[in-house]
Structure 1
Amino acid sequence: MLTPRFELDQNDEFVYIKIHIPNIRFSAAAIEMVINDNVFVFSLPPYYLRLRFPKSLIENEDATSEFDSKEGCIKIRIPKLNRCEYFPDLDLGAKLLARLNEPLNNSSDQRIKEKPTSLIQELEVSNELVNNFENVQPGSSQYSQLAQEALDYDWEIPQKMPPQLTDLQAAVKYGFDNQYSEYLTPSVANGNDINELSDPDHLQPDDRIMERLIKENIKFDMEYYANDYITAKYLSEESDGIKGALQYICPYAKLFQESESKSNVKVEFSQKEQDLMNDLPRKSYLIDDPRPLYYTVLCMLFAYSYEARSFQGETTIESAWTIGKLTPQISCLDSQLIQSNNETEKNMIRIILLTMFRRALDYPLYRHYDMIKKTWMDVYWILRCGKRAVLKVLLAARELFRKHVIYYVYCKILLDDLCSWVLRDDGCNDIVLRNLAHASRKELEKVTKSDIVFEKIIKDEAAANTDEAGEIEEEEEEQFSFLNLIDVEELSDEAYLASQS
């Protein structure tokens, strides 16, 4: 059976469903429609649609349906059981598609659905308290355990002993919640130049991190950074690109600031975005520790926002490559971000900020410190707009990969599931996103240019040796050195001022 494309709308009395069935001849007698409390079922072979609404409907003489031959769709009107009752998230049609074994009873007090024939139990959590979080005081009787856990979310690195592996080949997993393996080797063979790992399907997590750090150090180009720094600071006529990027205003910043309700920012989805949501995987996720998923969301938001700021809201043919290179969970399959035995840093948010600072100074077209800080503020505004804004950005990023003949593999191992998890009521949490926004902004204020360090090999040509014939020959000496952005900028200023004088 095929799931048809559909659109939803509402007013105070009715819910309107528009089901598109183009290029099919049918008899009205073949159509079956059933309304059972909050469940609507439509059947017209080969099409089948089942929607589970957040509120109850009623089937009476006011319910109507008609076929519009010009639009190639069936328009259905269903009365609401309670007049003037608002049905939330009707523009997120994928949330209404009933899933296999999903219980019909949505009452908030039924926390655990018992399934005697299954060894797995799914927990159902009501989002009503989450949506009204701003009006609920911590510690009150209405404050749910989920909301309290989200409010007190701990971003410190968990102290865990590395697992004892017996079969190294079988133990290597990556992608969404480390659920995938053996996807990258064929992609790399076909020319996947986003990948930075020597053997992506067999490297352990700590080895991925080591390769990533080495590549970041090698890739950093002092002259490239110095050129962008001098261009933006001194050469006003030649810095239109960087100046435009620095002056760009994130639409989500404006949206949040103009919103009447800061806890419920109105984010609308286009019909194309709704169709993309309908194509997402429809499955439940049993996540032991969701923090790595939030880290991935944070990195993806930064990567997409940096590319959008670089081209003032537009994307290019190279956007998928740039976003993939910036995101360590994609280019290096690194969802861990710090090695198991590393005890120097304790806060994961700071580690993410420093990692993305380094990568943004390695790969994009523009590599400018102030532009990176502005992009992190763009991420802050997206997070403050809530999970609908996060989903909108992730869908836009996913579409860039989905259309690519090689990079689509990252949709299969990460982006499809990530978007689906953000969409689900029992997945991504608005309160955690708000907590993450404040935590990242707080850490951003602590980051300085001296914190952005690259390990480089500096060649010294001043050394000289005497050969067997007694002649002096020049020889390069290699010295291992640590460079931060302050060092590079001071050298750049000196060189530029000397050239002008």
Structure 2
Amino acid sequence: MITPRFEVSQDDEFVIIKVRISNTRFSAKAVEMIADDDKFIFSLAPYYLRLRFSGSIVDDERAKAEFVPKEESILIRMPKMNKGEVFLDLDLPAKLLARTENSERKLPLIEEVGETNNVESLAQEAQNFDWEVEQVEQQPARLVPQFFYGFNNQYSNMMEVSLSNGNDINELSNPDKMDPDERINERLIKENLKFDPEYYANEYLTQKYFPQDSNIKQILCWENPIRIQHKNRSETEFTTEEHERMMDLPRKSYLVDNVRPLYYTIVCLLYGYLYELRQNEGELTVESGWTVGKLVPQLSCLDSQLIQSNNKTETNMLRVVAITMARRSLCYPLVRNFEMVTTVWDDVYCTLRCGSRAVLKALLACRELFRFHDIYYIYCNIWLNDLCAWTMNNASDTVLRNLGHELRKTVAEIKKREIVFEKILADDSEELEFVNLTDIEELAEISYSESIAASS
């Protein structure tokens, strides 16, 4: 059976469904329609459509269907059980198509098990949730090790083909055979190696003393449209193209072991995408997929844990996320500037505060950077397809908005001195030294002052 293209709207009394049946001979006798509480079924061979609404509909004498020849469509008007009720998300066709495991059990579209049983309880908890680092009991070693990654840690042995084709987003030496702590250790080592103090110092001095030679002020002043939306408290709207993208998402239920890593991954992806968007003042380039992939540790290092399981000093996972993304922002993109980091976090804040629809819109745009790439498509397969579907169907507005609020407070408390790298600073030394952004800026100021004095 073929799922037809369709559009859904509403008024106070009816849900109005336009089903397109191009290249099909219409026969009223062949049409079957069923209204069962929140479920609507349409059937006209070879088309079959099943939708689930947020409210209930009824099939009584008010129900009406008519064929519109010029539009090659059937216009159906199904009465609402409760007149005046507003049905939600009628402009999200993929969400209306989502399946439930058993309609009689009335399970949510996505059931989450574990520490948090469902989205409703997590949303209630979100009001006062402090996003602490979770304590995970160390599991006994397996006789045959298994290495999982990606959405809900449900993928394995999928990186080899991508690597053989030259995946330059990947930062791991052997991603299919590394446990979570090994991924973190290699990520931290690669960040320390990649960080260039001279690059950072040069950008710092150029911005401060030679602003005419730097476009950083212009980049920082660029106003992301999401800020305007947040300021005006306007609703997120989706384009026809975005609807088509949603229709391509997986239509399946997920048993999520722990939802927190999914929210942290959403934050990291939003940050990576919004960093690249601001870096190019609203434009995306052929290199945008690489930049976002490098910034996001869940992609480049398959690292959803972000902090070693034996780390007893850090208690706030949002702080871990913020520092991790700051470090990567000062290693990989073209623009490496701490003020840029804090500005992008404000963009992330505005997106989260606009709710799940705004988050989904950004994630869909981020997914497009990878979807048709010959090599980077793997990140859609292991992360973005599932995460977009999960966000559309089950991400909680309350949790996302609370997350934005808590994240903003956390970012505001992080100082330059806390962004630390291990580097070999002396040419004749092999010892690693800890260096932070404040140290680098102070050394840059001394060097600049000495050069001015020498030239005068």
Name the counterpart of 1:232.
207
Equivalent pair of 2:149/2:155 in contact (CA under 8 Å): yes
1:258 match: 232
Letter paired with 1:451 = E
Q: Which residue of 1 aligns with 2:134?
A: 158
1:271 aligns with 2:240: yes
Check 1:147–1:477 CA distance in 2 against 1; reply closer, same or farther (3 A cut): closer
Shift of residue 250 of structure 1?
A: 2.6
Pairing 1:492–2:439 present? no
Aligned equivalents of 1:155, 1:257: Cα separation in 2 = 26
Q: Which has the higher contact order (CA 8 A, sep 6+)?
A: 2
Offset at residue 124 of structure 1 (A)? 9.7
Which whole-Å CA distance do the structure 2 matches of 1:126 and 1:220 have between them?
39
Q: 1:412 to 1:126 in 2, by over 3 A?
A: closer
Aligned residue in 2 for 1:451 = 418
Q: CA deviation at 1:192?
A: 1.1
User: In the alignment, is residue 245 of structure 1 matched against residue 214 of structure 2?
Assistant: no
Counterpart CA distance in 1 for 2:351 and 2:206 is: 29
**Map of 2:188 onto structure 1:** 213
Equivalent residues of 1:5, 1:275 under 8 A apart = no
Task: Decide which moves more: 212-221 or 483-492.
Answer: 483-492
Spell out the pairing of 1:134-149 with structure 2 (5 A cutoff).
145-149=121-125
Q: Is the 8 A contact 2:119 2:396 kept in 1?
A: no
Going from structure 1 to structure 2, the CA distance change for 1:146 and 1:443 (only over 3 Å counts) comes to closer
Q: Work out the percentage of aligned pairs sharing the same amino acid.
A: 52
Counterpart of 2:26, as a letter, is S
Distance 1:25 1:434, change over 3 A: closer
Distance 2:99 2:235 in 1: 27
Quote the Cα distance in structure 2 between the aligned partners of 1:269 and 1:81.
Answer: 28
Preserved contact between residue 4 and residue 21 of structure 1 (Cα < 8 Å): yes
Which whole-Å deviations, capped at 9, do the CAs of 1:172-220 have from their partners, x for residues lacking one? 1000110000111111111111111000001011100000000000011
**Residue 387 (1) aligns with residue 356 (2):** yes
Cα deviation, 1:60-119, whole Å, max 9, x if unaligned, reads: 3551322344x444333333333332111111222211515331576xxxx899xxxxxx
TM-score by length of 2: 0.91
Match in the other structure for 2:372:
403
**8 Å contact kept, 2:360–2:392:** yes
| SS of residue in 2 equivalent to 1:43 | strand
- Output the amino acid matched with 1:199: N
Q: Which residue of 2 aligns with 1:286?
A: 255
Partner-residue secondary structure (3-state), 1:479: coil
Question: How far apart, in 2, do the equivalents of 1:422 and 1:229 lie?
Answer: 38
Q: Structure 1 stretches of 5 or more lacking a match?
A: 114-119, 128-144, 260-264, 461-475
In 1, Cα distance between the equivalents of 2:144 and 2:166? 26
Aligned counterparts of 1:43 and 1:233: Cα–Cα separation in 2:
67
- 2:163 matched to which residue of 1? 188
Is 1:438 the counterpart of 2:405 in the alignment? yes
**In structure 1, C-alpha distance between the alignment counterparts of 2:179 and 2:190, rounded to whole Å:** 17
Q: Which moved more, 1:386-395 or 1:12-21?
A: 12-21
Structure 2, unaligned stretches of length 5 or more?
none
Q: Larger C-alpha radius of gyration, 1 or 2?
A: 1
Asked whether the 8 Å contact 2:130–2:316 carries over to 1, the reply is no
Query: How far apart are the structure 2 equivalents of 1:229 and 1:74?
Result: 62
Residue 430 of structure 1: CA displacement? 1.9
For 2:57 and 2:156, the matched residues in 1 are separated by: 44
Aligned to 2:433: 481
In 2, Cα distance between equivalents of 1:124 and 1:213: 33
Tell whether 2:24 aligns with 1:25.
yes
Cα separation, 2, equivalents of 1:167 and 1:274: 46
Report if the CA contact (8 A) 1:68-1:75 is conserved: no
Q: Is the 8 A contact 2:37 2:56 kept in 1?
A: yes
| Change beyond 3 A, Cα 1:68–1:375 | farther
Secondary structure (helix, strand or coil) at the match of 1:183 reads coil
Aligned to 2:11: 11
Query: What displacement does 1:497 show?
Result: 4.1
1:223 aligns with 2:190: no
3-state SS in 2 of match to 1:477: coil
Change (3 A) 1:72 1:410: farther
> Partner of 1:177 in structure 2?
152
- C-alpha RMSD of the superposition: 2.5
Partner Cα distance (1:429, 1:446) in 2: 26
CA contact (8 A) 1:382 1:389 kept: yes
Alpha-carbon displacement from aligned partner over 1:230-261 (angstroms, at most 9, x marks no partner): 23222222223x222100223222212222xx
Per the alignment, in what secondary structure is the counterpart of residue 245 of structure 2?
Answer: helix
Show the counterpart of 2:174.
Answer: 199
Higher mean alpha-carbon deviation, 379-388 vs 49-58, is at: 49-58
- Give 1:28's aligned amino acid: S
**Distance change >3 Å, CA 238–CA 76, structure 1 → 2:** farther
Give the aligned residue type for 1:5.
R
Deviations 1:284-339 (A, max 9, x none): 22223211111111111111111111112221111111111100000000001111
Structure 1, residues 367-409: CA drift from partner, whole Å, max 9, x if none? 1100100111111111111111111111111121112121111
Q: Using the alignment, how far apart are the partners of 1:224 and 1:126 within structure 2?
A: 44
Instruction: Tell me the matched-pair count.
Output: 447
What's the CA shift string for 1:17-45, capped at 9, x where partnerless? 233344x2323254433333432212233
Give me the whole-angstrom Cα distance separating, in 1, the residues matched to 2:108 and 2:329: 44
CA distance in 1, matches of 2:227, 2:150: 30
| Cα contact 1:329–1:335 (8 A) shared by 2 | yes
Q: Could you say which residue in structure 1 is the equivalent of 2:288?
A: 319
Question: Does the CA-based 8 Å contact 2:101-2:253 persist in structure 1?
Answer: no
Distance 2:8 2:172 in 1: 45
